[in-house]
Amino acid sequence: MLDLDFLNNNYQDNRPASEIVAESIAIDILTGVLRPGQRIIEHTLCDKYAMSRTPIRGILNQLSSFGLIRLIPNRGAFVTGVTERDIDDFFYMKSLLYPQCVKWAIERITTEEMAMLEETFDFMEFYTATEDFEKMKKINHGFEAIIYNASHNAELEKTLLRYDFFIRYANINIKYPLNYLPAVLEEHRAIFMAFKDKKPDAGYEAAQIHAYKSMLRRK
Amino acid sequence: MLDLDFLNNNYQDNRPASEIVAESIAIDILTGVLRPGQRIIEHTLCDKYAMSRTPIRGILNQLSSFGLIRLIPNRGAFVTGVTERDIDDFFYMKSLLYPQCVKWAIERITTEEMAMLEETFDFMEFYTATEDFEKMKKINHGFEAIIYNASHNAELEKTLLRYDFFIRYANINIKYPLNYLPAVLEEHRAIFMAFKDKKPDAGYEAAQIHAYKSMLRRK
DNA sequence: GTAATATAAATTGTATACAATTTTAACACT
DNA sequence: AGTGTTAAAATTGTATACAATTTATATTAC
């Protein structure tokens, strides 16, 4: 599967080669090296990544399910465009689903998952204090990924991860002011406290507020 | 791509063989012939459908992206379970996204798409009058599919189609009373009128009501 | 008899070869 | 010159063969 952490490319690469290549192609699409509408010839990818067509075709299937390319039978793969309006839409769609995801997660989270969430939140406090922006971005995604998973609804988890994928892409070049960090931490703290207190509705509201303010910060 | 209309298996089959096989496997999963957690051996599918492993693997990739199976590297494909709670969740998630989808669709629909919607609604009135339940089910999905598409957000469209896929599966054995038809028609009429009047907020509210009542009808 | 290890079988991952289809180019015709 | 047709090239779809990995079985040690 496509690992969403790839934009922070400082991970251990003991994963399947096909995953690494899939990410590389995804980056090429998102950064405009491969342009919207452009046709992708399988053989050129084979040459570039020194792979045969079989795994390349599997990768193209994955990218297709991720919405980055469009596969037309007997015609090939074509790059999908992502507009600014699409990104706005993703923010909005996330603001609709995320609060309910938090609510379900609070109702359904396991002891192990809760322990992970607590540990992650500790790191968030630490990195906010040390003003480590890159680490913070990474840990924020980890925090939300745990919540998505704790909703115990695989489809909802995949949906939100997909939205984040595009949202993160949109934010890749945006440099938020450093004083956003404490504000984001407090929004996350409100969500975290709802988990601690096992209050689903409080979590729902806190998530709504966070999603709304995230949209405002984008502007 | 996986065609969502396959449960009404009265279509012309001039589509790629891989699509037909994908649908057949999907039906086996949804009807319990292939049980949750069960491992799927590629070779058995090859024998059953008289295909080599290459296209079968492509199909497994599609089913994976659709959430029907889970692919584990070097281990194979495992059938995903869909619980009653999952179906409830899908209803709820749809009720969160569908109203916004209607709102965007009203803002963004093209003249051609609007013409299709009008034609489809005419059929809905006709089939409601003739009490043709099966035709009605089909046309209802067509009506919503046009709206999803008119939102001009490919991800939202795919998300809602996926939810419908599972919701329809859950409803496959349920026989709703015939007097539901006029009620559903009136809910759809309210949505349709919002399109005619180009009133996004009215559409949003009508869609909310429809989604809510759909949840109640399931009980 | 049980557990650990080694071996064999089965299964998945990849590469290559060939078939079917589409795209490109060349050519004749008006 | 422009259009329609035909042939060649390129590209995608499928089948098969082999490599890598996992799973199942058998053997040995205790």
What pLDDT sits at residue B14? Answer: 55
| Structure confidence at residue A5 (pLDDT) | 36
Q: Tell me, what's the pLDDT at A84?
A: 86
Pairing of strands B69-72, B76-79: antiparallel
Supply the pLDDT for residue A15.
66
Mean pLDDT calculated for residue range A31-53: 93
Phi, psi torsion values for B174, nearest 5 degrees: -80, 130
Q: Of A1, A61, A166, which is closest to B58 when you measure between CB atoms?
A: A61
A193 pLDDT higher than 90:
yes
Average pLDDT, chain A: 88
Work out the burial of residue B25: count CB atoms within 10 Å of its CB; fewer than 13 is exposed, 13-18 middle, 19 or more buried. Answer: buried
Q: Is the CB of B55 under 7 A from strand C?
A: no
User: Is residue A103 a contact partner of residue A203, using CB atoms and an 8 Å limit?
Assistant: yes
Q: Where are the domains of chain A?
A: 4-79, 84-218
pLDDT digits (tens, 9 = 90+) for A128-180: 999 888 888 889 999 999 999 999 998 899 899 989 988 887 666 667 777 78
- A148 touching B (Cβ < 8 Å): no
Residue B140 has pLDDT above 90, yes or no: yes
Sign of CA dihedral A163, A166, A172, A175: negative
Q: Residues B82-94: what's their mean pLDDT? A: 91
Domain B4-79 has CATH 3.50.50.60: no
Please tell me the predicted confidence (pLDDT) of residue A171.
67
Q: Do A89 and B80 touch (CB under 8 A)?
A: no
Q: Which nucleotide is nearest to B77 (CA to C1')?
A: C12
- The answer to whether the beta carbon of residue A19 comes closer than 7 angstroms to any atom of strand C is no
Report pTM: 0.83
Which of A93, A157, A163 should one mutate to test binding to chain B, selecting the residue with the greatest count of B CBs within 10 A?
A93
Q: What is the mean pLDDT of residues B171-195?
A: 87
Mean pLDDT of A52-75: 92
Beta carbons of A92 and B86 less than 8 Å apart: no
pLDDT at B12: 39
Closest residue in chain B to residue A89, using alpha carbons only? B153
Predicted pLDDT of residue B63? 92
Q: Greatest CA separation found in chain A?
A: 56
Q: Which nucleotide is nearest to A54 (CA to C1')?
A: C14
A53: CB within 7 A of chain C nucleic strand:
yes
Q: Give the pLDDT of residue A168.
A: 82
More confident residue, A219 or A122: A122
- Is the pLDDT at A12 greater than 70? The verdict is no
Q: How far apart are the first and last CA of chain A?
A: 32
Read off the tokens for B170. Answer: 């859950």
Which nt sits closest to B52, CA to C1'?
Answer: D15
In CATH, what is the architecture of A84-218?
A: Up-down Bundle (1.20)
pLDDT digits (tens, 9 = 90+) for B16-74: 788 889 989 998 998 889 999 999 999 999 999 999 999 999 999 989 988 899 999 99
Residues by CB within 7 A of strand D: list them. A 39-43, 53-54, 57, 71, 73-77; B 16-18, 50-55, 58, 74-75
